[in-house]
Amino acid sequence: MVRVFDCHSFKSKKVVPIQDEPLAICADEKHVFVATRRCTVIVFAITEEGCRETRRFETVSLVEQLLYNPTKNYLIAVEFKKSWKNLTKYIRVYLNWDCEIAQGSKIKTKVRIAGKSHSSLISSAQNYLDVVEIPVDRKIADISVCSQTGNFAVAIDREVKVFHLVDKTVPSSGKSYRDVEIFLELCWNFKLVTLSLCEDYIVCSSQNEFQAVRLEYTDSDSESSRLSQIKLERRRSDDREGQGHVYRTTPSPGSSYHTQSRLSSLADVDEIFESDPPIINQIEYSSFGQNRSTNHSPNIHDTSDLSSSYSSSTRISDDDYFQAWRFDGEDSETGEISIHLPGLQGTSKSLGHKSSPPVLQDLRGGPFKSSGGVKAITLLHFSDAGMREDWQQVSVIPAYLPGISRKVEPGSTSSPVMSPRYRNLASMCCFVSGGRGGCLYSLYPRVKLITCYRYTTSAVKIIPSSGLLHVATKTGVETYTARDSIVAIHQTEEYDFITKASPPTELDVCLIGIQPFIGTQDITVTNDHLILLTKVEEPHSEDMMWSLYALQMCPAADLYRDMVSFGCKVMETGPSSYAHMLQEAHLHVKREMMFTSSADALVEENFLESAALLGEHYSLPNEEDWRLCLPYYIMSHLSLDDIIRQAVQHKQHKKQGSHFTYGKGLLYYLNYILFLDDDPVDIKQSCGNEVLHIYHETEPERLSHVLLISRLHTFSPETAMDLLKKWMDHNRQREENASDFDLLAFVKLNLTLVEPETARTALVAIPEKNFILICGVHPNLVHKDFTEFTPLAQLMRQHRPNTFLHMLVELFDRGVLTLDTSLKLLQNIEDKDMSTNTHIRDYLEILVKDWKRKYIFEDAVSLLCEIYIKRIISKILPSSRQLLLPHQFQMPSGGHFTGRFAWLDYLPPFTGPMSLSRRCQLITIPSSSGSLQRSPSASIPVKVVNRADSSDDKCPCCFCNEDLLKLQSLLCSEELMEDLCRSVTHQIQNEADLAGWDSIWLLCVRVLDWKQATEFIIDRYPGVVPKFMSCTYGMDPERWQYGMRCLEAVMKELPSSSSGEELYVQAYRGILKDLSELLPPDLFLSLLPADGSFTFVLPYITQCFRHQCAKTLKNDIIDKGRQMVTHH
């Protein structure tokens, strides 16, 4: 679809003064070449002041077509000469058209044949016009020059001959000259009408068929050696298999022997000859690996990028009957001009022959023809069997950007069809035009249809220039927006549509201007001028009236301003037209910035402005592409203050009484900007209040998120509280509970407004699990730059300490807080001892209670043990707190905390398990609190008093020895490390009065030196020897034997019938009892003393055998049961 927006006009119009009838025109950056009927080429310089003739020279014959090559600085002309029999055409190259001549003198002309020796015509003084003539024996269809390489191509019947300029030296002379040589011939399977050449791309067409190919030069020597190696490997494989393969090829007509010798019927021939792999939607036919007489070429794939007029069978389908444009005029509601376009020239079908690349003849070696080292890869091929198409012109449009570097194959560095700028090639497009319309295709980086054009009337010539497409028709010049630069821009830049975006390549093209002229014949362009040639025959006369105009093109900034102004006119009535104009303006200034070496500062400002206008448009309500608001606002570099101010002003400008809501695009932008990172956003307080109002009107459920976790910090807390209360009252009226985020935001605002009691009440209402989850995901609610707790966290620490500590553990598990950072935050005062901070102790206990944090056990357990020891040394008494009943006291469990050994209950300060459950001796309980009607689970208010200062008066209750019990639990763990044991023993070695010193020392020494621990326990506490040995020795017979011998030695030294002897005998009996249940009979008997009493140990031997028989019977029953289950 083509949209019509009349917003383009030429800046000025100059008339080129010329008296003779012009026949052909061409131009370079600053000059215009005009070939006249007097066999003269006049060169004009186009300046701001006007058009001034700079020089002229004569041609050999009348000129039909004239082209200029800026790289090699030559003119090439198709000249003709009429006779009474026929019309003869010539191709002549004017090499030194700009040679210096004396004023008033006439330049001489020397004509020579290309490729021939002309030593007699060569002169060291270039005071003559050097003309090289290329012999042509057939009708010339078209010529094309490559502005980058200096090559030119000539289309003759079905052939394309490619030439280049070479420097030659006259033998035995110091004279040098330039000559023209042919280096490539391409033979097509259709008669050529027009062609275009650029770099290694060639596009040719007839009236109903066109084909685009890319030339690929390779190193023939390396390719031949590689081919030979692969053939040799195949022969070896065939010899091993005992089978031979015969390769037959069927040459097609017109192909060379060398070309056909490389074709085979092997399916894997692509392994030998590699071509560019097809990219997405690429239509590519390889010239190798397919026999044109037997194998079908791949069909053109139907893709989303191609219009519906192209099918997978290379058909161009459309309406059965051609329909001209219908301009319905301006729509009364939208202000748009509707254009109804049929497809391109009706139904089209593929030709009967197979699509194949042209046959190549490599002439770099002279007159000997060869196809080795070069191949043509078909990129595009369309044909029309119904003869409805009328393709008249093809143009290859390159785009170079210095910021990119394209990878070039190693063998192509010496390619004659690649310029030095080839590495900077960003895109290559192809424009194929008929009389009433055309199509723009991308050839690189991928093959796809970009867009289609429709002209208002029959076109004479089409020429792209500066992001625009100028079409010369019989009635004037039509200017369209072009899309070739978008392909290059999209190839160079990456668009994530979050921080950067661009209008799509499929954006409808626009007819932005029509300049009426009568009798348009030809157009060409300079840097900033469009040169137009018109001819009109006078009525009732054979005389011809001609004019040559130089139309100055608008600068990019002026055209941008015209586009935006036109869009603003239809913004209210036609918002889609307004958006389209903004996109066109944005693309135009973007192209100017990227393709101009020194972009104007005004153009850069226009680019930012266009991005801001697009962002503002997509921020409005009812926009389908509202997500584009974000990238365009970011690209505009507008501050948040400016964006909010624009949104508020747009709301105020709406008609009174009309309902207005902010668009989704604005909310999408705010949600991204406000929650991007942790750095506060720079915004004024008034604009911050407006942001809160925007959320309250559009997304009130996210208002609390903005207040809690966004980057918005500058707003009035009174305004925020008022809006939050309105939202919570609204939920209350709908009988909905306030969300956890709403409650947290309410707490935070009350703390800001110095209302701690109200904040505490709301804080208690938040469930612990939800609070921990929210703070875990949003740690900024807890700390300020890892240096201190926030007021919210401090309130939680004071009134909900358990939830607060679990929240810190959650942050540790998420990797937000390290152990050192957490302790630093909890300690507050660096000089204060950590042992007095119960929150640090409780925090470390939570950490080591879970095995998933085993990696932190070494550091955390060491700190925790140090804290316990310091608290025990300092004799920290229970604080004034709610004291649970003794039977409700619970030890931490899990992780590094394990069950305490039973024998620890009998070591000081404890006298047995019952001593732990006694009432604390250091507290008083009011009599009223001892009522029998109190709930068993209710807490009891207590008062701690110091009844005795003597160190001997030690209370054995669980509350006074809580730290000792937890320390013992840590030291009973199977994961106890020797380093920790050494650290603990070092800390207590000088603390003889430490409560529970013996138990702590034994728990550590049993790991470091179990023999010393055994001797100590036998000497000091013989009553717990059996239990100590059971938990320390396990199944180790050596340790059991050592312990029994030590105990027996002590028993022998004791006097008979003493109280000590009875105690040791009971310990010995306990050891035998445990061993009889633990060890098998053979090991048990081996541990008994050789001189022991048989009657004393017989009961234990009997008990050992009974246990063994019971175990055997149990195992037999289990085995029988398994067999029965398996059998059934």
Q: Return contacts of 1080-1085, CB within 8 angstroms, 24+ apart.
A: 1080/1104, 1080/1108, 1081/1105, 1081/1108, 1083/1037
What number of CA atoms fall less than 13 Å from residue 247's CA on the CB side?
A: 16
Please report which helix (H) or strand (E) contains residue 53, including its range: strand 51-58
Of the listed ranges 366-375, 575-584, 1060-1069, the least confidently predicted one is 366-375
Please give the distance of CA 850 from its chain centroid, rounded to a whole number.
38
Q: What are the tens digits of pLDDT across the range 1075-1097?
A: 888 888 888 888 888 887 888 88
CA-CA distance, 878 to 960, in Å (whole number)? 6
Which residue did the predictor score with more confidence, 325 or 360? 360
Strand runs labelled E in 796-951: 882-883, 923-924, 940-941, 943-944
Structure tokens at 294: 């037997």
CA atoms within a 13 Å half-sphere pointing along the CA-CB vector of 200 = 27
Helix H, strand E, coil C: the string for 246-271 is CCCCCCCCCCCHHHHHCCCCCCCHHH
Poorest-pLDDT segment among 343-352, 384-393, 464-473, 968-977: 343-352
Confidence of residue 867 (pLDDT cuts 50, 70, 90): very high
Residue 302, pLDDT above cutoff 50: no
What is the DSSP annotation of 79-120? Answer: EEEE-SS-EEEEEEEES-TT----TT---EEEEEETTS--TT
pLDDT in tens, 987-1001: 999 888 888 899 999
Mean pLDDT calculated for residue range 771-790? 93
Query: pLDDT tens, 737-765?
Result: 999 999 999 999 999 999 999 999 999 99
Percent of the chain exceeding pLDDT 70 equals 80
Task: Specify the amino acid at residue 473.
Answer: T
Report the pLDDT averaged over residues 955-981.
90
Joined tokens for residue 244: 């031979």
Q: 543 pLDDT band (50/70/90 cuts)?
A: confident
Report pLDDT for 220: 53
Lowest mean pLDDT among 75-89, 629-643, 819-833, 870-884: 870-884
What pLDDT shows up at residue 109? 86
Cα angle 562-565-568, degrees, rounded to a multiple of 5:
150
Which helix (H) or strand (E) segment holds residue 1060: the answer is helix 1059-1078
980 pLDDT band, cuts 50/70/90, is very high
Per-residue pLDDT, 480: 95
Amino acid at 577: S
- The yes-or-no verdict on residue 584 having pLDDT over 50 is yes
Q: What angle do CA 129, 132, 135 make, to 5 degrees?
A: 150
Q: What is the DSSP string of 543-601?
A: -EEEEEEEEEPPPHHHHHHHHHHHHHHTTTT-HHHHHHHHHHHHHHHHHHHHH-SS--H
Asked if residue 986 has pLDDT above 50, the reply is: yes
- Cα–Cα separations (whole angstroms), residue 851 to 58, 820, 839: 97, 20, 21
d(CA 862, CA 870): 12
Please write the tens of the pLDDT for every residue from 156-197: 999 999 999 998 887 777 778 889 999 999 999 999 999 999
For the ranges 94-103, 115-124, 428-437, which has the lowest average pLDDT? Answer: 115-124
Residues in the chain: 1128
In the predicted model, is pLDDT for residue 709 greater than 70?
yes
pLDDT of 640 reads 95
Question: pLDDT at position 530, please?
Answer: 94
* pLDDT band at residue 238 using 50, 70 and 90 as cut-offs: low
128-134 and 520-525 strand pairing: unpaired
For 126-139, what is each residue's pLDDT tens digit? Answer: 678 889 999 888 88
Q: What is the mean pLDDT of residues 473-479?
A: 93
CB-CB contact of 418 with 150 (8 Å)? no
Q: Is the pLDDT of residue 287 over 50?
A: no
What's the burial of 49, exposed, middle or buried (CB within 10 Å: 0-12/13-18/19+)?
exposed
Residue 849 has pLDDT above 70, yes or no: yes
In the predicted structure, residue 142 carries a pLDDT above the cut 80: yes
N- to C-terminal Cα distance for the chain? 78
pLDDT at 601 over 90: no
- Note the pLDDT of residue 815: 93
3-state secondary structure 465-534: ECCEEEEEECCEEEEEECCHHHHHHHHHCCCCCCCCCCCCCCCCEEEEEEEECCCEEEEEECCCEEEEEE
- CA 672 to mean position of chain CA atoms: 17
Query: What's the helix, strand, coil split of the chain in %, to 5?
Result: 40, 20, 40
pLDDT: which is higher, 1042 or 941: 1042
Distance CA(479)–CA(459), nearest Å, equals: 12
pLDDT band at 435; cut points 50, 70, 90 = confident
Report the pLDDT averaged over residues 425-445.
Answer: 92
Average pLDDT over residues 955-965: 86
212 close to 378: Cβ distance less than 8 angstroms: yes
Does residue 24 surpass a pLDDT of 70? Answer: yes
Position 404 confidence tier, pLDDT thresholds 50, 70, 90: confident
Beta bridge partners of 211: 204, 381
Whole-number Cα distances in Å, 726 to 51, 344, 685, 696, 722: 73, 61, 21, 9, 6
Q: Which residue has better confidence, 1095 or 303?
A: 1095
Residue 16 has pLDDT above 60, yes or no: yes
Q: To the nearest whole percent, how much of the chain has pLDDT over 90?
A: 50
Q: How far apart are CA 804 and CA 137, in angstroms?
A: 96
Residue 186 is predicted with a pLDDT of 94
- Specify the pLDDT at position 1128: 67
Q: Quick check: 242 pLDDT over 60?
A: no
22 preceded by cis ω (within 30°)?
Answer: no
Asked which of 406-420, 445-459, 539-553, 886-900 is least confident by mean pLDDT, the reply is: 406-420
Structure tokens at 140: 């010339």
Summarised one tens digit per residue, pLDDT across range 219-232 is: 655 545 445 555 55
pLDDT recorded at residue 33: 95
Q: Which residue would you say has higher pLDDT here, 494 or 105?
A: 494
Tell me the backbone φ, ψ of residue 1010, rounded to 5 degrees. -70, -25
Angstrom distance (rounded) from CA 1059 to CA 1057: 7
Band (344; pLDDT cuts 50, 70, 90):
very low
281: left (phi over 0), alpha (psi -120 to 50) or beta: left
